[in-house]
Amino acid sequence: MDSHSNLIDFSSVLASTVHDMKNSLCMLLQSIDTMAQDQDQNPRTAQELAKIHYEASRLITNLLQMLSLFRFEKDQLPLMIEEHYVEDLVDELVEKNLLYIENKSIKVELNLEENIVWFFDDGLVGNLLNDIFVNALRYTKDTITITAKVIDEHLEIKITDNGSGYPQHMLCDTELPMQEFDIDNNRTGLGLFFARMIANAHTNKDKVGYIKLSNDEQFGGSVFTLVLP
């Protein structure tokens, strides 16, 4: 018998383990949500639950990114392009993080063009936006604005906060070719690489999706823009 036939495919084992970890964390989030509904808890307990919920949500997002990147590398990342209401996508995004939003008294303003229906992978785009939104929750002073509209036959979704804005190197790195992203040194971060990958995977004829980073001219906060054809 070929000894190599008994070797473990570590990458597949890792992907399976990450999937199981993600499921366990989802169950943990459900338990936290249930505990948070207890009206008799003291403010300190509520604050700690919100913090745990936030960190667990970040871990789930990171694990989903790892799975997607693994499948992308193996050419096994299927895109489930279907028709979705953008309003439903945004509502789910806010609902996922409502516990933290309410505990930190963060104002989330929605500026959505009515009845936008678009074709995209709901799971991948939802995870992409959740990663950006969770980071905005961390760095904003007190307000986040989500805008969605159709411009020149492209869907444009913006997440804007009133924090200190993106550092200059991140503003420059969005223009780099994918192969030049410096993930090892964490200059751009896995989330930004993932966002570029998912946006670029959405195509329509000769048009390709993309992301943009900028800082708000009025308040100085970060502005993340996702554009899908």
pLDDT for residue 135 is more than 80 = yes
pLDDT for residue 75 is more than 80 = no
pTM of the full structure = 0.78
pLDDT for residue 185 is more than 70 = no
For residue 34, give both structure tokens.
Answer: 């249930």
pLDDT for residue 12 is more than 80 = no
**What does the pLDDT read at residue 1?**
47
How many Å is the Cα radius of gyration of the chain? Answer: 19
Return all residues near 48 (Cβ < 8 A) that are at least 6 apart: none
Residue boundaries of the structural domains of the chain: 10-228
pLDDT for residue 54 is more than 70 = yes
Mean per-residue pLDDT, 127-156: 93
Q: What is the DSSP string of 149-212?
A: EEETTEEEEEEEESSS---HHHHHHTTS-GGG--TTTTSS-HHHHHHHHHHHH-EETTEE-EEE
The confidence band for 157, taking pLDDT boundaries of 50, 70 and 90, is very high
**What does the pLDDT read at residue 93?**
94
pLDDT for residue 179 is more than 90 = no
* Averaged pLDDT of the chain: 82
| Residue 22 host element (H or E) | helix 10-36
Residue pair 152/124 in contact (Cβ under 8 Å)? The answer is no
How far is the C-alpha of 156 from the C-alpha of 219, rounded, in Å? 21
Q: Which CATH superfamily is domain 10-228 in?
A: Histidine kinase-like ATPase, C-terminal domain (3.30.565.10)
Lowest mean pLDDT among 22-36, 118-132, 141-155: 22-36
**What does the pLDDT read at residue 187?**
40
Give which of 139, 147, 148, 157 is closest to 222, Cα–Cα.
139
**What does the pLDDT read at residue 148?**
97
Mean per-residue pLDDT, 143-148: 96
pLDDT for residue 57 is more than 70 = yes
Q: What is the DSSP string of 35-86?
A: HHT-TTS-HHHHHHHHHHHHHHHHHHHHHHHHHHHHHHHTT-----EEEEEH
Q: Which residue has the higher pLDDT, 36 or 140?
A: 140
